[in-house]
Every structure is written in C-alpha cells, then in structure tokens.
Amino acid sequence: MYAIIESCGKQYKVTEGDVVFFEKLDAEEGKKVAFDKVILLSNDGKVKVGAPYVKGAKVEGKVVSHGKGKKIIVFKMKPKKNYRRKQGHRQPYTKVEITSIKSTTRKPAAKAEETKKAEA
C-alpha cells in the first residue's frame, strides 16, 4: 500500500515504514503528525485518485529529528563588470517516519445493504 501526499508545496510518494525528509514542520521530536492531503491511494492494485484529495484518507507519521541539509553555494557573477556575490544556504528539514496509511472504505455500509436485501 502506498500513497501520494502533498505537504509543504511538494508531493511525496510514501509507504508504511518509510523515512521521508520534509521541509521544516512545526512539530517537536517524538510527536505524531498527520497528513490529510492525500492525492492518490493505492492498495493491492486498487487505486483511488482524489479530486483534488481522497476523502477520508490520512497518513500518519512520527517526527524523528530536525536538521539542516547539505550546503549549496549561490554564486552570482557578471563578466567584465567586477561583480561577484557568493552566498551559502542550508535548507532546514524535518525527518518523519511514516507509521500508518489509513483510508475509510464504504464496505460496512455495502454489507449492511446486502444483509437487508437478503432478509427481505
């Protein structure tokens, strides 16, 4: 089972047990986080696609740690004009372990209707 979720303006493909690096989230280490914006949900070949999101689907995870990514160098230069600017940047991230993928299915309601038809 896997899901495609939207968080921090990006889309991530996640399965249970995955460790995903999101942009910095406002959650403490060890706390649980829930992602309600599930775009696609796949379970044993059965795919549910949301418009825009799948109703009742939820992905839960646990915050493992916070940190900063590898440094990138931003270098601006204009040739022959003696213009050079060098700047470094480290993007903060939150490391999250996906614990569960939940979806509400309408099977219990369908079974109730089948039992009513069988009794009649």
List, in sequence order, every residue forming a beta bridge with 94; answer none if it has no partner: 22, 66
Look at residue 4 in the predicted model and tell me its pLDDT. Answer: 95
Q: Count other C-beta atoms under 10 Å from residue 64's C-beta.
A: 15
* Below-50 pLDDT ranges, the chain: none
pLDDT attached to residue 114: 61
Judge if the upstream peptide bond of residue 52 is cis by omega within 30 degrees of 0.
Answer: yes
Tokens of 28: 């403490």
Q: The whole model's pTM is what?
A: 0.75
112, 28 contact by CB (below 8 A): no
Of 94, 92, 93, 96, whose CA–CA distance to 32 is shortest? 96
pLDDT computed for residue 44 by the predictor = 87
Distance (Å, whole) CA 39 – CA 30? 26
CA distance 105 to 42: 13
Q: What is the reported pLDDT for 104?
A: 78
- Spatial contact of 2 and 15, defined as CB atoms under 8 Å apart: yes
